A and B are shown apart, each in its own frame.
Chain A
Amino acid sequence: MASRDYSLLGSDGARAVETGLAAAEWYHSDVPRKVMKELMQRSDGPAIRDSIIMYGSMIMLAIAAIALWPSWWSMPFLLAYSVFYGSASDSRWHECGHGTAFKTGWMNDVVYHIASFMVVRNPYVWRWSHARHHTDTYIVGRDPEIAIMRPPQLIMVMLNFFGLPAVIKDWGRMLYYAFTGKVGKEEATFIPASEHHKVIFAARIWTAVYAATLVVAVATGSILPFLLVGLPRLYGGWQHVMVGILQHGGLADNVTDHRLNSRTVIMGPINRFLYWNMNYHLEHHMFPMVPYHALPRLHDLIKHDLPEPTQGVIAAYREMWPVLKKQLMNEEAFIKRQLPPTARPYREDFHTSALGATVPAE
């Protein structure tokens, strides 16, 4: 098989459209309508509670860091602050982008825009890219959010723990939108023209915020303003990358069954708070309307139809890492997760093009 072409303007994407792999109908476990309606119900309570904890903690940590600066004693406070800023903001961006975190629309929007700024994702570009990610999850040439391409560039995967080079690129895009007033060609494949002006407007606001931070830094002769605004995405983003690359890493691509390309990992309460339960990632992809706080209930309801979840972050890396190394030599290698006897089998006939000629790693 030829090397994969991940460009959204490339041959694999065009082939996916021709063959019907793009915008296809995906497998769903059976959930009675009444139960699904209950699971989909929105509530402000859990997200208000979690937001008070998160943003309250950030304010207190920032005050402590400023008070202790320039002593090294400010470091632990900055490091803790940065994990909320650079990592927890990823899941807030994600859930509020789906509109499922809060029942009240404006609350979703406020947290979405704050989180987008902190994780350096243009709120309009990434809303549309994430919609495509859900339409064409890990369909090569269609999904703009494939975190680990094949063959994997392992050095880049490791650099990503420090936001490199992704965040530098995102800051570059911000300046591009702000100063040229244009959206790029690839982005234009998934963002309607009617939304382009919003992309540019958000980029200009952000540029102004960073410029104000620069003014404060110069005026005070200190790097501290940037340690609180901007740089935490680099030195505090490691947690969301640590859990995020497990979502699909080492699993199948070009399939239409999330049981083959998404991974649920059982995690402890701290990771789950920071990640807003996105460790139930398979369930999230199968039913994106279910809010984060209802995902454990959804998991219990359909687990008989899903592969056994991976028990913990370390176990997930033990499962994924050897396959990524295999993909260096053979990019067709992947993990085909085994279903329990109670599950409806994978539709091998439907996935022949993706699975038939490939080499499952286990």
Chain B
Amino acid sequence: MPFIDACATSDIDEEDLIRFDHEGATYAIYHAPDGTFYATSGLCTHENVHLADGLVMGHVIECPKHNGQFDYRTGEAKRAPVCINLKTFAVKIEAGRVLIDIP
């Protein structure tokens, strides 16, 4: 499947994220403090809460409901109550747009 155009790079503040919905699925797209972009599935693996309302701290996203944490670069679960890793998706930037590889 080709990369999907998700948003403009300027749509996401540095050290923040936005929600992106596509074909019934929801994703989170991150703008890291070093200027790079990442994408993960949009719901916390603990209890299906949208991560887009959470807090990005460096390369960590914290879930807004129970404060579980993930490294959004790798999807690794970092702090209870999350135990299951997040799914991650490849990202590329073209002409100021963020494209994500949705299989």
Contacts and interface: CB of A to CB of B under 8 A. Distances in A.
A288 B48 CA distance: 16
Contacts of B33: none
- Choose among B48, B54, B67 the residue with the greatest number of A CB atoms under 10 Å from its CB: B67
A135 B65 contact: yes
B67 A37 contact: no
B17 to A, nearest CB: 10
Nearest to B18: A33
Interface in B48-71: 48, 53-55, 57, 62, 64-67, 69
Contacts of A23: 47-48
A288 B55 contact: no
B80 interface: yes
Contacts of B83: 192, 194-195
A37 B16 contact: yes
A167 B67 CA distance: 27
B16 A134 contact: no
A100 B54 CA distance: 13
Contacts of A41: 55
A99 B69 CA distance: 10
Interface residues of B, number: 18
A288 B81 contact: no
A99 B82 CA distance: 13
Given A23-B47, A37-B16, A288 B67 contact: yes
A37 B57 CA distance: 11
Contacts of A192: 83
In terms of DSSP, what is the predominant structure of the interface of chain A? helix
Given A23-B47, A42-B57, A135-B47, A289 B81 contact: no
Contacts, number: 41
Contact of A135 (B54, B57, B66): B66
A131 interface: yes
B16 A288 contact: no
Contacts of B81: 127-128, 131
Contact of A289 (B47, B48, B55): B55
Contact of A288 (B57, B64, B69, B80): B64
Interface string A120-132: 0000000110010
Contact of B66 (A40, A105, A134): A134
A98 interface: yes
Contacts of A194: 83
Interface of B: 16, 46-48, 53-55, 57, 62, 64-67, 69, 79-81, 83
Given A127-B81, A287-B64, 8 more contacts: A40-B55, A42-B57, A99-B67, A105-B79, A128-B80, A128-B81, A134-B65, A289-B55
7 contacts: A37-B16, A40-B55, A41-B55, A99-B62, A128-B80, A135-B47, A288-B64
- Nearest 4 Cβ contacts at the A-B interface: A131-B81, A40-B55, A131-B66, A99-B67
